[in-house]
Structure 1
Amino acid sequence: MSDRKELLDRLLDPLQVVVFDGAMGTQLYAKGVFINQCYDELNLRAPDLIREVHRAYIKAGAEVIETNTFGASRAKLAQYGLEADVTKINLEAAKLAREVAEDDVLVAGAVGPLGIRLEPYGPTSLLEARQMFAEQMNGLKEGGADLFILETFADVHEIEQAILAAREIAPDFPIIAQMTIGSDCLTPYGLSPEDIAKTLDALGADIVGLNCSVGPQTILDAIEKMTPVTRRKLSAQPNAGMPREVSGRSMYMASPEYMATYAHHLVQAGVKLVGGCCGTTPEHIAAIVEGIRPLVPRQRKPVRDRRVHQAEIPEEPKGVAPVPFADRSKFSAKIARGDFVTSVEIVPPRGVDATRMLKDTAALKAAGVDAVNVPDGPRAQSRMGALLTSLLIEQRVGIETVTHYCCRDRNLLGMLSDLLGAAATGLHNILLITGDPPKMGPYPNATAVFDIDAIGLTNLVSNLNRGLDPGGNPIGAPTQFAIGVGVNPAAIDPANELSRFEWKVDAGAEYAITQPVFDAEQLERFLGTIDHTRIPIIAGIWPLVSLRNAEFLANEVPGVTVPQPIIERMRRASAKSKEAGVAEGIAIAKEMLERVRPLVQGVQVSAPFGKVELALEVFGDHIKSEATTQ
Structure 2
Amino acid sequence: MKPDLRTALALKPRVGDGAMATYLYQLGLPVGVSFEEFNLLKPDVIADVHRRYAAAGAEIIETNTYSAQHNKLSKYGLEKKTEEINAAGVSIARRAVGQEAYVVGSIGAVRGGAGKNVRTAVVKRDFEEQIGVLLASGVDGLLLETFFDLEELSLALSIIRKKSDISVICQFAVEDAHRTHDGIPLPEAFRRLKGEGADVIGFNCRSGPNGILRALETIPRDLGVSLSVFPNAGIPDYVDGKVVYSATPEYFASSAIKFADAGARLIGGCCGTTPEHISAMAQALQGYSPNAHAAAPEGATPAQPVEVIEASFQSGKPPLVTEPSIIDLVRERHTVIVELDPPRDLDISKFMAGAQALKDAKADALTMADNSLAVTRMSNMALAALLKERVGIRPLVHIACRDRNLIGTQSHMMGFDALGIDHVLAVTGDPAKFGDLPGSSSVYDLTSFEIIRMIKQLNEGIAFSGKPLKQKANFIVGAAFNPNVKHLDKAIQRLERKISAGADYIMTQPVYDPDLIERIAEMTKHLTIPIFLGIFPLASGRNAEYLHNEVPGIQLSDSVRQRMSGLEGAEGRAEGVKIAKELLDVAMARFNGIYLMTPFLAYEMTVSLTEYVRKKSKSLTSDK
Provide the TM-score with structure 1 as the length reference. 0.51
In structure 2, distance between residues paired with 1:611 and 1:180: 62
Q: Is residue 458 of structure 2 the alignment partner of residue 464 of structure 1?
A: yes
**Paired residue for 2:354?**
360
Q: Contact 1:317/1:472 (CA < 8 Å) preserved in 2?
A: no
Aligned match for 1:416, one of 410, 415, 429: 410
* 1:216-295 paired onto structure 2 within 5 Å: 221=196
* 1:206-217 paired onto structure 2 within 5 Å: none
Aligned match for 2:581, one of 590, 594, 597: 590
Aligned match for 2:612, one of 612, 615, 621: 621
Partner SS for 1:194: strand
In structure 2, distance between residues paired with 1:441 and 1:377: 9
What residue identity is the alignment partner of 1:585? G
Q: Deviations over 1:111-147 (max 9, x none)?
A: xxxxxxxxxxxxxxx89xxxxxxxxxxxxxxxxxxx9
**Paired residue for 2:592?**
601
**Paired residue for 1:498?**
492
Distance 1:498 1:480, change over 3 A: same
What residue identity is the alignment partner of 2:501? A
Q: Contact 1:545/1:608 (CA < 8 Å) preserved in 2?
A: yes
Partner SS for 1:531: coil
**Paired residue for 1:166?**
none
Q: Contact 2:506/2:532 (CA < 8 Å) preserved in 1?
A: yes
Distance 1:613 1:224, change over 3 A: closer
**Paired residue for 1:426?**
420
Q: Deviations over 1:380-410 (max 9, x none)?
A: 1111122222111111211111111111111
**Paired residue for 2:385?**
391
Instruction: Provide the identity percentage.
Output: 30
In structure 1, distance between residues paired with 2:520 and 2:72: 62
Aligned match for 2:372, one of 354, 373, 378: 378
* 1:153-552 paired onto structure 2 within 5 Å: 160=140, 187=165, 191-194=167-170, 221=196, 329-332=323-326, 334-335=328-329, 337-552=331-546
Distance 1:515 1:333, change over 3 A: closer
Distance 1:416 1:316, change over 3 A: farther
Distance 1:461 1:570, change over 3 A: same
Distance 1:359 1:193, change over 3 A: same
Q: Deviations over 1:514-566 (max 9, x none)?
A: 11110122122123222222311111111111121111111211111112221
What residue identity is the alignment partner of 1:508? G
In structure 2, distance between residues paired with 1:226 and 1:152: 24
In structure 2, distance between residues paired with 1:337 and 1:224: 41
In structure 2, distance between residues paired with 1:329 and 1:180: 51
**Paired residue for 2:179?**
none
What's the RMSD between the two structures over aligned residues? 5.1
What residue identity is the alignment partner of 1:582? R
Shift of 1:477: 2.9
Q: Is residue 556 of structure 2 the alignment partner of residue 556 of structure 1?
A: no
Q: Contact 1:346/1:373 (CA < 8 Å) preserved in 2?
A: yes
Distance 1:178 1:493, change over 3 A: farther
Distance 1:317 1:14, change over 3 A: farther
In structure 1, distance between residues paired with 2:139 and 2:194: 19
In structure 1, distance between residues paired with 2:521 and 2:427: 20
Distance 1:319 1:541, change over 3 A: farther
Distance 1:592 1:467, change over 3 A: same
In structure 2, distance between residues paired with 1:411 and 1:316: 36
- The list of structure 1 runs, each at least 4 consecutive aligned residues, that deviate by more than 3 angstroms after superposition, is 15-18, 147-153, 158-162, 177-183, 185-188, 217-230, 314-323, 326-331, 470-474
Partner SS for 2:383: helix
Distance 1:422 1:319, change over 3 A: farther
Partner SS for 2:538: coil
Q: Contact 2:538/2:576 (CA < 8 Å) preserved in 1?
A: yes
Q: Contact 1:542/1:608 (CA < 8 Å) preserved in 2?
A: yes
In structure 1, distance between residues paired with 2:472 and 2:394: 20
In structure 2, distance between residues paired with 1:152 and 1:459: 28
**Paired residue for 1:15?**
70
In structure 1, distance between residues paired with 2:500 and 2:141: 21
Gaps of 5+ in 2: 1-39, 41-66, 74-82, 85-98, 101-130, 143-155, 172-191, 206-277, 291-304, 309-319, 616-624
In structure 2, distance between residues paired with 1:331 and 1:222: 39
**Paired residue for 1:53?**
none
In structure 1, distance between residues paired with 2:288 and 2:430: 33
In structure 2, distance between residues paired with 1:402 and 1:427: 8
In structure 1, distance between residues paired with 2:489 and 2:500: 16
Q: Contact 1:152/1:180 (CA < 8 Å) preserved in 2?
A: no
Shift of 1:492: 3.9
Partner SS for 1:476: coil
Q: Contact 1:319/1:468 (CA < 8 Å) preserved in 2?
A: no
Aligned residues: 386
In structure 2, distance between residues paired with 1:373 and 1:557: 19
In structure 2, distance between residues paired with 1:449 and 1:224: 28
What residue identity is the alignment partner of 1:442? D
Q: Is residue 601 of structure 2 the alignment partner of residue 610 of structure 1?
A: yes
In structure 1, distance between residues paired with 2:195 and 2:613: 67
Q: Contact 1:376/1:386 (CA < 8 Å) preserved in 2?
A: yes
Distance 1:621 1:15, change over 3 A: closer
Gaps of 5+ in 1: 1-7, 19-105, 108-125, 128-146, 163-176, 196-216, 231-309, 625-630
Q: Contact 2:168/2:199 (CA < 8 Å) preserved in 1?
A: no
Provide the TM-score with structure 2 as the length reference. 0.51
Partner SS for 1:361: helix
Q: Deviations over 1:149-193 (max 9, x none)?
A: 57699xxxx85499xxxxxxxxxxxxxx9999879x9948xx455
Q: Contact 1:544/1:550 (CA < 8 Å) preserved in 2?
A: yes
Distance 1:389 1:514, change over 3 A: same
Q: Contact 1:329/1:482 (CA < 8 Å) preserved in 2?
A: no
Shift of 1:578: 3.8
Partner SS for 2:526: helix
What residue identity is the alignment partner of 1:539? L
Distance 1:228 1:535, change over 3 A: closer
Q: Deviations over 1:45-78 (max 9, x none)?
A: xxxxxxxxxxxxxxxxxxxxxxxxxxxxxxxxxx
**Paired residue for 2:212?**
none
Partner SS for 1:462: helix
In structure 2, distance between residues paired with 1:413 and 1:319: 31
Q: Contact 2:357/2:607 (CA < 8 Å) preserved in 1?
A: no
Q: Deviations over 1:461-488 (max 9, x none)?
A: 2222233333554323321222211112
What residue identity is the alignment partner of 1:603? I
**Paired residue for 1:82?**
none
In structure 2, distance between residues paired with 1:490 and 1:567: 15
Partner SS for 2:596: strand
In structure 2, distance between residues paired with 1:511 and 1:555: 28
